[in-house]
Chain A
């Protein structure tokens, strides 16, 4: 699952570009959020498709004058605040959060699927998830 942020210039904001791309490539695009105004706009989409189809979508978008950025979220563990209780551990579906041999909480962000169960379960709010950010 890749997440893309599509940036539109004001001139392009009125055109049905994404619909065109979907028709052209036949790839299913899930729109997560959109904000289009006179100043241009952006659409956040999720695409669960093979690499080949994904690049077709990206190429088509760029050809039509849309800027494309791959996005990612970030789960942050505030080590200063964390008490290593482990309340989050049994809720984590992928073991991204786990205790080490010396009972410290560790986060393997690669494994995180952003289910967000841990966020509210943390008694001291040491876990925070960001909105989507560009991969730099």
Chain B
């Protein structure tokens, strides 16, 4: 005995509809039960406000005189490259595109925010010139009011839930999940938990193509499943569209994720019609019932290790336990603004300004997210490292070591103990600078905290580590700290030569 969307819309028209935010629904069901909620409640509103990288806007500038064909040329908005693969004066500005002059401090997300704020945007375009579009260059300023269309079109938004992040390494890392402190120093998470739009209808019974939503402060629509839509794993996404000209910068904010890149905070809310008890139940899921995983971002591989399962209630509390230690948590999405979105959507519906739409087609519920097809396997350290390593013991004389390095024509001398465990490293530079210091043994000049690699690490991560520490080689060790080889920039150069 359910309701229909048409019936609910009729009640909205009359001003009789009972609308609750997802937070209020949790309380309602706790007090009166699912059956009563299904009968009494018509709509549950949701909201989320977080960084969503797969966001951007289609813009149409109109024609200059003489006209220019920017398609196939180059387009810059406030020096941020925009897509120039469309018709003459259409473009797509994506959130993660970065300014040529300001880098990560200003990107496509910021351009979109500035457009919404009505600010002037510098447009610079280059073209090759044709008989019908003779012009080759244009420099002007535009505002959102001057251009014909400004349409927010985001191919992937509103993840149902998201993995939380931590870092096992002994150095701070900067990821799309924010700054992660060393040795499990903090945990960051994303998603609105109890208010998460897709988390409240995880079986996609009411959410589909054509669903009218709150988007950036205006009414928008779901147009397709989002890219990487993975509902089987509880990681569904949606593609959304809306009129940028009607949106508000309160709900669209350009942002910089430190040492990662630029993005766009998107405010999005979905009204969920309470058609029956099953939907009443899922909209009333509280944060202790919504689980995610804490993932170790210290491992730069596609399949990062899971540290533990966690509920949004724990993440929201400000601290979680990892290996007996209390670790502080941070959300990247704003719960306060998410709540404001759910409340705004509720008000719109109550006032009869927003009606629910019947999905034209449901979103698929059986999609899985496939990894990238790679035709060449990623080379591993063990495939390029030098296995016969020249080593020395800590009590070896510096003069002796100098001779060895010169004879063998190497720059790195790993220092090992009697069990072949790595205890330090000496480079030809260390030896050169020790001249005249009166030091005699390698143990006096060796670096004890050695940057190392493992045999099964991909070469790319090792190359990044060499670069980050400005070193030219590192010993390869196993889990017991025993020396297995050495990998140097020379080894990488040889590999690069082969790739070409």
B92 on the interface (CB 8 Å rule)? no
CB distance from A129 to the nearest CB of B (A): 15
Neighbour of B257 across the interface among A89, A102, A103, A123, CB < 8 A = A123
Contacts of B337 in A (CB 8 A): 83-85
CB distance from A79 to the nearest CB of B (A): 12
Q: Which residues of A from 100 to 136 have beta carbons under 8 Å from B?
A: 102-104, 117, 120-121, 123-125
Q: How far is the CA of A69 from the CA of B334 in the complex (A)?
A: 41
* Segment of B181-189, B388-396, B431-439 engaged in the interface with chain A: B181-189
Given contacts A83-B265, A103-B335, contact A88 B330 (CB under 8 A): yes
Given contacts A84-B337, A103-B336, contact A123 B179 (CB under 8 A): no
B256 on the interface (CB 8 Å rule)? yes
Q: How far is the CA of A87 from the CA of B257 in the complex (A)?
A: 10
Neighbour of A117 across the interface among B179, B188, B332, B336, CB < 8 A = B179
Neighbour of A86 across the interface among B179, B258, B259, B334, CB < 8 A = B334
Q: Could you tell me if A87 and B330 are in contact, using CB atoms closer than 8 angstroms?
A: yes
Q: Could you tell me if A120 and B258 are in contact, using CB atoms closer than 8 angstroms?
A: yes
> A87, A90, A121: which has the most chain B beta carbons within 10 Å?
A90
Q: Could you tell me if B336 and A123 are in contact, using CB atoms closer than 8 angstroms?
A: no
Q: Could you tell me if B49 and A89 are in contact, using CB atoms closer than 8 angstroms?
A: no
Q: How far is the CA of A17 from the CA of B187 in the complex (A)?
A: 49
B333 on the interface (CB 8 Å rule)? yes
Q: Residues of B within 8 Å of A, CB-based: how many?
A: 31
Q: Could you tell me if A87 and B332 are in contact, using CB atoms closer than 8 angstroms?
A: yes
Contacts of B336 in A (CB 8 A): 84, 102-104
Identify the closest chain A residue to B113 (Cβ): A124
Contacts of A120 in B (CB 8 A): 179, 258-259
Q: Which residues of A from 37 to 93 have beta carbons under 8 Å from B?
A: 83-91
Q: How far is the CA of A54 from the CA of B332 in the complex (A)?
A: 43
> B265, B328, B334, B339: which has the most chain A beta carbons within 10 Å?
B334
Q: How far is the CA of A28 from the CA of B328 in the complex (A)?
A: 36
Contacts of B51 in A (CB 8 A): 123
Neighbour of B178 across the interface among A87, A99, A103, A124, CB < 8 A = A87
Q: Which residues of B from 312 to 349 have beta carbons under 8 Å from A?
A: 318, 327-337, 339
Q: Could you tell me if A99 and B179 are in contact, using CB atoms closer than 8 angstroms?
A: no
CB distance from B269 to the nearest CB of A (A): 16
Identify the closest chain B residue to A121 (Cβ): B179
Contacts of B328 in A (CB 8 A): 89-90
Chain B 19-36, CB-CB to A under 8 Å as 1, else 0, gives 000000000000000000
Chain B 227-263, CB-CB to A under 8 Å as 1, else 0, gives 0000000000000000000000000011111110001
Q: Could you tell me if B253 and A124 are in contact, using CB atoms closer than 8 angstroms?
A: yes
Contacts of A85 in B (CB 8 A): 49-50, 265, 331-334, 337
Q: Could you tell me if A125 and B256 are in contact, using CB atoms closer than 8 angstroms?
A: yes
Q: How far is the CA of A72 from the CA of B336 in the complex (A)?
A: 32
Q: How far is the CA of A120 from the CA of B259 in the complex (A)?
A: 9
Contacts of A103 in B (CB 8 A): 334-336, 339
Contacts of A125 in B (CB 8 A): 256
Q: How far is the CA of A45 from the CA of B332 in the complex (A)?
A: 37
Contacts of A104 in B (CB 8 A): 336
Neighbour of A83 across the interface among B49, B256, B258, CB < 8 A = B49
Q: How far is the CA of A59 from the CA of B327 in the complex (A)?
A: 46
Contacts of B339 in A (CB 8 A): 103
Q: How far is the CA of A125 from the CA of B51 in the complex (A)?
A: 14
CB distance from A57 to the nearest CB of B (A): 36
Q: How far is the CA of A102 from the CA of B340 in the complex (A)?
A: 11
Q: How far is the CA of A117 from the CA of B182 in the complex (A)?
A: 13
> B254, B258, B263: which has the most chain A beta carbons within 10 Å?
B258
Contacts of A99 in B (CB 8 A): 318
Neighbour of B186 across the interface among A91, A123, A124, CB < 8 A = A91
Given contacts A83-B49, A123-B255, contact A91 B330 (CB under 8 A): yes
Q: Could you tell me if B186 and A90 are in contact, using CB atoms closer than 8 angstroms?
A: yes
Given contacts A121-B178, A123-B257, contact A87 B331 (CB under 8 A): yes
> B187, B265, B335: which has the most chain A beta carbons within 10 Å?
B335
Smallest CB-CB A-B distances: 9 pairs? A90-B330, A123-B255, A90-B186, A90-B328, A84-B336, A103-B336, A85-B334, A120-B258, A103-B335
Contacts A83-B265, A102-B336, A123-B255 aside, 18 further interface pairs with beta carbons under 8 A come to A83-B334, A85-B49, A85-B265, A86-B331, A86-B335, A87-B188, A87-B331, A88-B330, A90-B181, A90-B187, A90-B328, A91-B186, A91-B330, A104-B336, A120-B179, A121-B179, A123-B332, A124-B256
Complex A-B: 15 CB contacts under 8 Å: A84-B334, A84-B336, A84-B337, A85-B49, A86-B330, A90-B181, A90-B186, A90-B187, A91-B181, A104-B336, A120-B179, A120-B259, A123-B256, A123-B332, A124-B256
Q: Which residues of B contact A (CB under 8 A)?
A: 49-51, 178-179, 181, 186-188, 253-259, 263, 265, 318, 327-337, 339
